[in-house]
Amino acid sequence: MSYHFYRGEVLLIDKPLGWSSFQAVNKIKHGIKNHPSFIHEGTKVKPKVGHAGTLDPLATGLLIVCTGKKTKEMNNYMGLDKEYTGTFFIGATTPCYDLEKEIDKTYPTEHITKENILATAKNFIGQQEQIPPLFSAVMVNGKRAYTHARAGDDIELIAKPIEIKEFEITAIEMQVVSFRIVCTKGTYIRSIARDFGLALNSGAHLTSLRRTKIGEFDVKDAVSPEEFVKQFK
C-alpha cells in the first residue's frame, strides 16, 4: 500500500494495553519520519502526526491517527460517537474508578439480581449530565484534574452533557458484568462504572475497556502501532 503522509493519511490503530495514546502516536511518528512523502519541493518536512481522541493506558482499541495536512481534520473525528466493550466489577470502588489504583472500599452485593443489572443498564440510556472522574484530564483552575487529585486538592468537577445511545449487558458472571456501550464524545466509561454501582445501591469500578468503533470506523480494520511501522523498516 502506498502512503503520502505529508498530504495526509487517516490511520486506524489498535492501541495496545499499557500504552498511552501519546506513545502510540510517537511510535508511528518515529516509524514514518524518513518516508519519501516528507520530501516536499526538495526539502525534508518535519512529520506531523496526531490522534483524534485519547484512550487511557489501561484501555485498548481504536485510535484514529492523522498525519500531515489531515491533522487539521482531527476535530471532525473527535465529534463522532464511540462504541466500547468492557467489564465492571460490582461491589468495590477505586479512587480513579478503574484498576489504576487499589480498591478503597467494598460494598454489599447480595441484594443485586440479574434483573436489577439489566434494568439499571436500560435506565442509563439517554441524555444526561455526567461528572468526570477526579483522576482525569479535565481542566480545573488551569490545571488537569488529576494534578489536583494527586496533590490532595479539594476541587469540584462540573457535570457535562453526554448521551448514552446504547447500553447492552452482554454477560454477568458473579460480580463481573460485561457490557457494550455506544455514547457521544466526552463520555467517561469510568464514570458510568461509578454511577452504575451507585444505581445498584452498591459500588463498582471499570476492570477492562476496549474502544471498538468511532463513527463508522471499526477496530477490526486497525493494526497495532508496531505492526504498522514494521512495513517501513
Distance CA 35, CA 29 (A): 10
Q: Which of 56, 81, 195, 218 is catalytic?
A: 56
Question: Which residue ranges form the domains of the chain, and what is each CATH number?
Answer: 10-79+218-230 (3.30.2350.10), 82-214 (3.30.2350.10)
CA-nearest of 73, 64, 78 to 25 is 64
Relative to beta strand 204-214, strand 217-218 is antiparallel
Global pTM? 0.92
Instruction: List, run by run, the mean pLDDT of 10-residue segments along the chain (233 residues).
Output: 90 97 95 87 84 93 96 94 98 94 96 97 96 69 65 72 98 97 96 97 98 98 96 84
Opening angle at CA 76, ends 73 and 17, nearest 5: 90
Q: Is 98 a catalytic residue?
A: no
Q: How many residues can be counted in the chain?
A: 233
Instruction: State the burial class of residue 229 (Cβ atoms within 10 Å of its Cβ: 0-12, 13-18, 19+).
Output: middle
Instruction: Report residue 147 CA to chain centroid gap.
Output: 19
